[in-house]
Amino acid sequence: MIDLAQLRREPDVVKAALARRGVERETVDEIVALDVEHRRLLQEAEGLRAEVKDLSRQVGDARRGGDLDLAETLSATSRSTGEKERSASDATDAVAARLREILLLIPNVPDARVPDGVDETGNVEMRRWWPGIDDGAEFPTFADHQRVPHWDIGLALGILDLESGAKIAGSMFPLYRGGGSRLLRALSSFSLDRQRDAYEEIRPPSFALTETMMSTGHLPKSADDMYAIERDGLWAIPTSEVPLTSLRRGEILEESALPLRLTAQTQCFRREAGSAGKDTRGVLRVHEFEKVELFAYCTPEQSEEAFNDVLTRAEGVLRALGLTYRLLLLCAGDLGTASAYTIDLEVFSPGVDRWLEVSSVSWFRDFQARRANVRYRRADGTTALVNTVNGSALGWARVWAALLETYRQEDGTVVLPEVLAPYMGGDATIR
């Protein structure tokens, strides 16, 4: 959540920044008023608590001195003051609960580099990459046999069975077969191996507690897009960012151990409640998909380097696969709740003639760490909240689609990049 100390210091700056994200100034004014009231009530309750403690001491002194009448009078005053203290504490808790309720719905303060905009139309394309660009090659053109959508390719090759997936779990739950299934496994193994030099591989649970989901900002704001298991108080994770952020929840890390870099391959589950009827063909929008995530706990001073490392690695996977892609700087209105700064990576998929998002690389400042209470100890012994950075390398459903369309041959086979051959049993061709 946002930093209340910054809001107290720079209320107008925070109001203006949040207004770029659609947060009304009246909402921020309510937060300021609640914060002032909470601190006033807290001070009042603490004063009354100290008064009760002092009265209790005086009662003891009076009894030891044999002045029972005074002791009884002081006891009555103590009981009355205690009732006032309990009332003040209850009021403090009520205001604190209301303040937290509002804060949990307030998005992060956007970085100054984030462009204005109310939705994806305000995103700014930063650059593009395609094979041969460094040698002066023009933007690639694609032949007719590459202009076939992946769902037709998958059906013809017998590697994508949407009908069986729907029979088992309902629509938007794809079932992959044979070479299609093997390709997904190969992509995860390929990416994870590329991260071994700097990132510790984690295999987290696929389900998370409500507290874990709240730490990343997915709850309460995006509850409708999550799969809930109400009986057990669990949620199916929408991304491994969720468990990785809470891996050190409530801990104090040593500054010398930072940045702490983690990676994980998981199944991801999303209801896509706000996207009904959009991109329902093939695997462009699905309820379950595989993804490799890169994540880092870092100090504020390390955050830019940590962000750039994740971005470079995500780009590196796309370049190794020879896929055409572009980078988009997200505008204020399209940022995720917890993000202060995000760059999306989109691949071009010729069969559907579209750019497809396959990664979002985001810097969260201390927004998530404040919820998860992850701190680090500086050399001088003081503690501060860490910053968190994460990004996908990559989300495989759309990469899978782009690979089939980009590398389809005239005879209908798909000849994949050679870097995948060792992970495909030595044969990079899907027949």
Residue 114 lies in a domain: no
Judge if 54 and 79 occupy the same domain. yes
* Residue 277: pLDDT over 90: no
Judge if 87 and 135 occupy the same domain. no
Residue 27 lies in a domain: yes
DSSP 192-238: HHHTTTT-EEE---SEEEHHHHHHHT-TTTTGGGSEEEGGGTEEE-S
Encode pLDDT of 209-254 as tens digits: 999 999 999 999 999 999 999 999 999 999 999 999 999 999 999 9
Residue 276 lies in a domain: yes
Residue 90: give its domain's CATH number: 1.10.287.40
Amino acid at 165: G
* Residue 274: pLDDT over 70: no
Residue range of the domain that includes 382: 120-430
**pLDDT band (50, 70, 90) for residue 430:** very high
**pLDDT band (50, 70, 90) for residue 279:** confident
Judge if 35 and 94 occupy the same domain. yes
CA angle 424, 351, 398 (to 5 degrees): 55
Q: What's the average model confidence in pLDDT over 281-308? A: 97
Residue 110 lies in a domain: no
Q: Which residue from 431, 188, 397, 408 is spatially nearest to 294, judged by alpha carbons?
A: 188
Judge if 289 and 236 occupy the same domain. yes
Number of domains in the chain: 2
Judge if 125 and 252 occupy the same domain. yes
Q: What's the average model confidence in pLDDT over 143-153? A: 98
Judge if 295 and 338 occupy the same domain. yes
At 304 the pLDDT is 98
Judge if 297 and 322 occupy the same domain. yes
Q: What's the average model confidence in pLDDT over 408-415? A: 98
Q: What's the average model confidence in pLDDT over 159-163? A: 97
Judge if 376 and 270 occupy the same domain. yes
Residue 410 lies in a domain: yes
Residue 298 lies in a domain: yes
Judge if 243 and 194 occupy the same domain. yes
Q: Would strands 383-385 and 252-254 be described as parallel, antiparallel, or unpaired?
A: unpaired
Kindly give, in sequence order, each residue whose CB lies less than 8 Å from that of residue 238, ignoring residues fewer than 6 positions away. 218, 222, 225, 226, 268, 269, 270
**pLDDT band (50, 70, 90) for residue 48:** very high
At 425 the pLDDT is 94
Judge if 82 and 220 occupy the same domain. no
Q: Which residue from 371, 413, 345 is spatially nearest to 105, judged by alpha carbons?
A: 371
**Rounded distance, CA 291 to CA 347, Å?**
15
Judge if 204 and 81 occupy the same domain. no
Encode pLDDT of 232-244 as tens digits: 999 999 999 999 9
Q: Which helix (H) or strand (E) holds 183?
A: helix 178-194
At 133 the pLDDT is 97
Q: Would strands 252-254 and 227-229 be described as parallel, antiparallel, or unpaired?
A: unpaired
Q: Are 368 and 338 in contact (CB under 8 A)?
A: yes
Judge if 92 and 152 occupy the same domain. no
Kindly give, in sequence order, each residue whose CB lies less than 8 Å from that of residue 96, ignoring residues fewer than 6 positions away. 38
Residue 113 lies in a domain: no
**pLDDT band (50, 70, 90) for residue 276:** low
Residue 323: give its domain's CATH number: 3.30.930.10
Least reliable range by pLDDT among 62-76, 109-123, 283-297, 389-403: 62-76
**pLDDT band (50, 70, 90) for residue 272:** confident
Residue 108 lies in a domain: no
* Residue 163: pLDDT over 90: yes
Q: What's the average model confidence in pLDDT over 112-141? A: 96
